Amino acid sequence: MTDCCCENRDDDTNADDPLAWFARMMPHCVEYATAAKEQGRRIVCIMCEYTPRELIMAAGGVPVCLCGGSAKTIAAAEEYLPANLCPLIKSTYGYHVQGNNPFLEMADLIVAETTCDGKKKMFELLAETRPMVVLELPQCSEDAGALEYWVEQLRKFRTQLENRFDVQITDDALREAIAVMNRERALRRELAELMTADRPPLTGRQLIELKSTISGIPADLEQYEKVLAHLRQKCPPDNETPPVRVLMTGVPMAHGSERVLEIIEDNGGLVVCMENCTGVKPILDDGDPETDNPIRALAEKYYRLPCSVMTRNDRRLDTLRSLAGQYRPQCIVELVWQACLTYDVESYRVRRLAEQELGIAYLRIETDYSPSDSARIATRVEALFETVRAEGGTPT
């Protein structure tokens, strides 16, 4: 499938390699969604980690992440959207214009989370021809009233799913979905924690492949177990020059937009932790599978997510402090997609945390999906690593 979000980039992968399953993640997801749709299940696309997938699963639906990571769809999006807009938003919209995201084409519903301004306004255009519900996320992270409003929003979302799909979402089904998502999060956390080793058995580029655009697929959960068993007994690489340990933070890297991560690792770095939404941020907390009130439990779990759309977002700094202690990075690299104002403004606080509190180097990289600035980014990354090595480079 050319120029499609599910292009298989690793057709020559060795089938005996336990990582091979996830190298074919997109084709697997398309097969899974197609079969589910044929069996009458509903495909529900989401664009943010604040949306509790558990509610969709408890309604019998298939939750799919819609975020676009391809540069190839951006020109089509720019026919309708401003050029000076986040590439993640443009890429997602470009798939809609071109009609070549199979998940979007089979979607029974899109969830429009009110996070950043660019996404909110793009959703209005998408809603002209696609079925959509708005999930209104309050943005004061520590305000008790805001949390209560979020609980109400999730109750409303439950009713919307029940009415649209003519199903009943029981509390038992919600608890079951919480347990499935907890298992998935726990397995992904264990994979991420392999990077705490002095010589981790995989790269950050390999780690970011170990996830799925659809949550809760039973075959994926089995494969996570296999990959974990394989990596636990694998001999770690014995590099002559140990790579510089990097903690990446900032914006999510949707499937296909891992270019900066690749540049870091091609130039002497090892990304030992990704704090962003395509890394550990959404999997650090679990929901309570025994709760009497699953909607409230989900609201509390998801509202804790430390995204820059929140004010204040001190929890992100707390998370970075804790991850720095656990993963021992020698520097922090912050990725900011062009025109992502919230992460861009917040980058000042992250730099201050890195340099003044953690005592490690910090680099902010602002870019989009075009490879035109790759050489310039590589030069800046090389200079960062020279500085880290010259200063002794002891992990924190």
Task: Give the residues lining the site for ligand SF4 (CB under 6 A).
Answer: 48-50, 86, 88-89, 115-116, 118-119, 251-252, 277, 305, 307, 309, 337, 340, 342-343
Q: How far is the CB of 298 from ligand SF4 (least distance, A)?
A: 15
Q: Which residues have a Cβ under 8 Å from the Cβ of 221 and sit 6 or more positions away?
A: 180, 183, 184, 187
Token digits of residue 304? 């804790």
Q: How far is the CB of 340 from ligand SF4 (least distance, A)?
A: 3
- As a whole number of angstroms, the distance between CA 322 and CA 254 comes to 24
Cis omega before residue 312 (within 30°)? Answer: yes
Beta strand pairing call for 331-337 and 269-274: unpaired
- As a whole number of angstroms, the distance between CA 25 and CA 20 comes to 9
Q: Which residues have a Cβ under 8 Å from the Cβ of 391 and sit 6 or more positions away?
A: 361
- The residue among 32 and 303 lying less far from ligand SF4, judged by its C-beta, is 303
- The residue among 100 and 313 lying less far from ligand SF4, judged by its C-beta, is 313
- The residue among 21 and 103 lying less far from ligand SF4, judged by its C-beta, is 103
- The residue among 77 and 309 lying less far from ligand SF4, judged by its C-beta, is 309
Q: How far is the CB of 338 from ligand SF4 (least distance, A)?
A: 9
- As a whole number of angstroms, the distance between CA 109 and CA 37 comes to 13
Q: How far is the CB of 68 from ligand SF4 (least distance, A)?
A: 10
- The residue among 63 and 252 lying less far from ligand SF4, judged by its C-beta, is 252
Q: Which residues have a Cβ under 8 Å from the Cβ of 32 and sit 6 or more positions away?
A: 62, 214, 217, 219
- As a whole number of angstroms, the distance between CA 287 and CA 294 comes to 8
- The residue among 156 and 304 lying less far from ligand SF4, judged by its C-beta, is 304
- The residue among 182 and 367 lying less far from ligand SF4, judged by its C-beta, is 367
3-state DSSP helix/strand/coil percent for the chain, to nearest 5?
A: 50, 10, 40
Beta strand pairing call for 244-250 and 132-135: unpaired
Q: How far is the CB of 107 from ligand SF4 (least distance, A)?
A: 18
Q: How far is the CB of 308 from ligand SF4 (least distance, A)?
A: 7
- As a whole number of angstroms, the distance between CA 368 and CA 338 comes to 5
- The residue among 19 and 89 lying less far from ligand SF4, judged by its C-beta, is 89
Q: How far is the CB of 342 from ligand SF4 (least distance, A)?
A: 6
Q: How far is the CB of 317 from ligand SF4 (least distance, A)?
A: 15
Closest by CA to 254, choosing from 45, 20, 34, 35, is: 45
Q: Which residue has the tokens 């759309």?
A: 309
- As a whole number of angstroms, the distance between CA 68 and CA 91 comes to 5
- As a whole number of angstroms, the distance between CA 253 and CA 133 comes to 25
